Amino acid sequence: MARKLTVVFFVFYFFVAANVAFAKTDNNALQLGARAFVLMDATSGRILVEKNSENKMPMASTTKIMTAILALENGDLNSTVSVSPKAASVGGSSFYLRSGESLSLESMLYGLLLPSGNDAAVAIAEHIGGSQEKFVQMMNKKALELGALNTHFANPHGMDDPEHYTTAKDLAVIAKHAWNYNKFREIVQTKTKEIRDGNYVRQIFNTNRLLWQFEGADGIKTGYTGKAGRCLVATASRKGFRLISVVLGSSDHFKDSQKLLDYGFANYNLKPIIFKNRFYATATVEDGIFNTVDLIAEDSVLLPLKDGERVSYYVIAPKKVKAPIFKGERIGQLQIYIDDNYAASISLVASKDIRQKQYYDIFNKLLRFWLRWELN
C-alpha cells in the first residue's frame, strides 16, 4: 500500500571523533599522476576522494565493463557466439579469435575481461544486440538508467572516438553496478584461465596486475589508448568494507590506484550508523486498533568514515497512516548525510500488524467503559 510522505523530521547528528581537522580530504597529499580519479565506497556509492571526477574523458578498455553488464543481463552464458569477419579483424588488444569460430558467451566474457579482447567485444555486441550499432544503443540506454549521465559510448571496446567518453564518477557508478553480478566478480578476479575450443587451447592472463600486487584486490578492468592514457577501474576489500577506485589519464595506473586504495583503507574505518529493528520514529494510525505504530529500520547501515566526519540523518515519514498496516510494511525512510552530503538511505518499516477497527471493536470498547462505570 502506497503511503504519502508528508513530513520531514531532523533527528540526529554526531561526530565520529573529536578532531574535525581531518574531516576534509586533502587530494594534494595523494600526489597522483592521473588526470582524474575517484575513490568510492562500493556499498553506499559515497565518494570518498575525487579529482576532476566529472570531466569527460576517454575511457579505453574500461568500456568493457558495460559490455559485460549487457551480456550478463541479456545473454545466456551457455549460448554459442559466432565470430564474424568484422569481429576477427578489429585491431588493438585481442583474444585472437578467428572468423567463423564459435565459443560460449561465458568464454567470450573471459576473453573480453582478462586479455581485454576487442575482438571478443565486437563478437559479444553482435551476439547480444544483433549488430554493433544496436548494441551501442543499448550501452547508452543502460548508462542513462544507471545515472551515468556524462557517459556516451560509440563502440563496445573503447578504441578512441570523439563520441566515446565518460567521467571517473560515472565509471565508478557503472563498476558498482557490475559488481552485483556473481559471474562478473568471478571473471574479473581470475588471474589466468584456459579456454578450450576442441583441440585448440588458449591460455589467457588478466591484465590487472593489482590482483598479484595489492592485498585484497579482486577486480576490475584496465584500459589504454593513446588519447585515454592508462586507465584502471579497481576494487579491493579490507577491514570489512570494499572500495572502488577509478583513475583516468594516468602514466602509471597501477601505482596511482594502489595509492588511492591505500589512502582509503588507511584513513577510513567501518562504523555502524543505523541499527536493524531499532526504533526511529512513530506515526499516528487512523482507523486502527492501535493509535500509533513504531517505525523501525529495515536493515543496518555501516559506512566507512574518517575521523571528524559529522553524521546526521533525517526521518522522512507520514504524520498519519491508515489501517490496516502490516508488519514490515515500508512506511518511511531514513536519509543519512555525512558533513551535509547525502551518503545513503534505508527504509523504515512498521514494527507490527495493526488491523482496521471493526464494529465489534467499537462495541467491546463501549462495553468495557460501561462495565467500569457500573462497577464504580
Just list the catalytic residues.
61, 64, 116
- Please list the residues that pair with 294 across neighbouring strands: 282
Q: If DSSP codes are grouped into helix, strand and coil, which group holds residue 345?
A: strand
Angle at Cα 189 formed by Cα 187 and Cα 193, nearest 5°?
60
Grid coordinates representing 178?
A: 557490475
Nearest to 317 by CA among 344, 338, 335: 335
User: How many Å from the N-terminal Cα to the C-terminal Cα in the chain?
Assistant: 44
What nine digits make up the cell of 373? Answer: 462505570
Sheet holding 330-338, edge to edge: 7-15, 310-317, 330-338, 341-350, 292-297, 279-286, 320-322
Cα gap 278→332, rounded to integer Å: 14
Distance CA(208)–CA(222), nearest Å, equals: 6
**Gyration radius (Cα) of the chain, Å:** 26
CA dist 194 and 173 (Å) reads 31
Cα(368)–Cα(78) distance, rounded to whole angstroms?
Answer: 69
Residue pair 41/237 in contact (Cβ under 8 Å)? The answer is no
Extended beta strands in the chain, E state: 7-15, 36-41, 47-51, 80-82, 102-104, 192-197, 200-205, 217-225, 229-238, 241-250, 269-274, 279-286, 292-297, 301-305, 310-317, 320-322, 330-338, 341-350
Full DSSP string of 266-303: HH-EEEEEE-TT-EEEEEEEESBSSSEEEEEESS-EEE
CB 244 within 8 A of CB 175: yes
Query: Which residues, listed in sequence order, are joined to residue 282 by a DSSP beta bridge?
Result: 294
